[in-house]
Amino acid sequence: MSRVFVYSLIILLSFHPPPGATASLTAQEEEQIERFQRYLRIRTAHPDPDYAAAAAFLLEEARSIGLHALAIEFVPGKPLLLISWPGSDPSLPSLLLNSHIDSVPAEPSRWIHPPFAAIRDAGGRIFARGAQDDKSIAVQYLEALRNLKAAGFVPARSVHISLVPDEEIGGADGAARFAASEQFRALNVGFVLDEGQASPTDEFRVFYADRSPWSLIVRSVGAPGHGSRMFDGGAMENLMDCVEAIARFRESQFDQVKSGSKAASEVISVNPVYMKAGTPSPTLIQKGPIRDNKGRPLATPTDESNPWWSVFKQAVLASGGKLAKPEILSSTTDARFMRQMGIPALGFSPMANTPILLHDHNEFLMDSVFLKGIKVYEHVISALSSLPETSV
């Protein structure tokens, strides 16, 4: 009888800044925050995300703005929502704004407020699983379009929002199927914005590439025997040789991050996920591509050679924001599926002066940061959707 062992070590840090005074908000801003809270209260955490309730809420909001909205199911029970605002010249390559509906699990006992209550404290912090990762940007997209339509803006390029399932578990039944579909090709997408990360400084972070994931199961096989016996070649003994080699390699990579010689996104991170003992299971190996369908590296240029980048950068600055030096994301997002199709994509979540709390306990977003993000997206969306044909 052979055995399989996998192990896990998770360290979570929480950040609790002191509450501050919340500035007086307009009735419109209070309504925007209330819609954000409603979305956060829908339990879309794995392992059983309520996609149906989330889809119903998002479709209703999109249609209330006057946008075309529909749900597509590439896999039964996992709706992908496609929301569209046709441009005055729909023949031009379009703008796609992507966000995932699902979120990671939460441990209520480790939170100061229930993780699905979306409580807003006296300091303006909205606590909820998904507040940063990444339900905020879905609502910000919709609110930005609501404001632009109300102001009479008409985009030259069509603007689409894709709200997808399963990003937190790899995206195979969500963005991956979408990017390979006829429905996606029909959108004629020219540029994509997807999620980014919070920034503890006053600069917004922007990501031009993701790291390539490689997930595998290490199966350790050993001689069977009674637990009271001393014998060589047991499964755990054999596994430990592998674990020790992984630990040494991980330490060599981590040392470079600690010394400051490399950023976290510039090294190879190795993190065991879980340990399990039992009968053999199939060995699973998933390795992401590093080049797109035209043989180019999966990285979006962030210089003057890319007109999308130039317009994006100027729009962020025009909104009153600052941009940090572009980075490679230390993890992965759905943007990688778009880049694999040869489409430029940036990861961007306008959350400055905010602790990074994705997947952490007590995840929160300040109401003022959420509202600022709407204004940033108004500038970004209007600028990108107005990019002249001759510029691309």
User: Which residues are part of the catalytic machinery?
Assistant: 102, 167
- In order, the DSSP letters of 340-367 are HTT--EEEE----S----TTSTT-EEEH
Amino acid at site 15? F
Closest C-alpha to 100, from 58, 41, 159: 58
The Cα 29–Cα 392 span in angstroms is 36
The Cα 62–Cα 65 span in angstroms is 5
- Specify whether the CB–CB gap between 44 and 102 falls below 8 A: yes
The Cα 392–Cα 390 span in angstroms is 6
User: Is the peptide bond between 280 and the residue preceding it cis, with omega within 30 degrees of 0?
Assistant: no
The C-alpha angle 14, 266, 213, rounded to 5 degrees, equals 80
Q: Which helix (H) or strand (E) holds 286?
A: strand 285-287
- Specify whether the CB–CB gap between 80 and 163 falls below 8 A: yes
The Cα 279–Cα 283 span in angstroms is 12
Residue 374's SS3 state is helix
- Specify whether the CB–CB gap between 135 and 40 falls below 8 A: yes
Name the β-bridge partners of 68. Answer: 84
The Cα 10–Cα 55 span in angstroms is 32
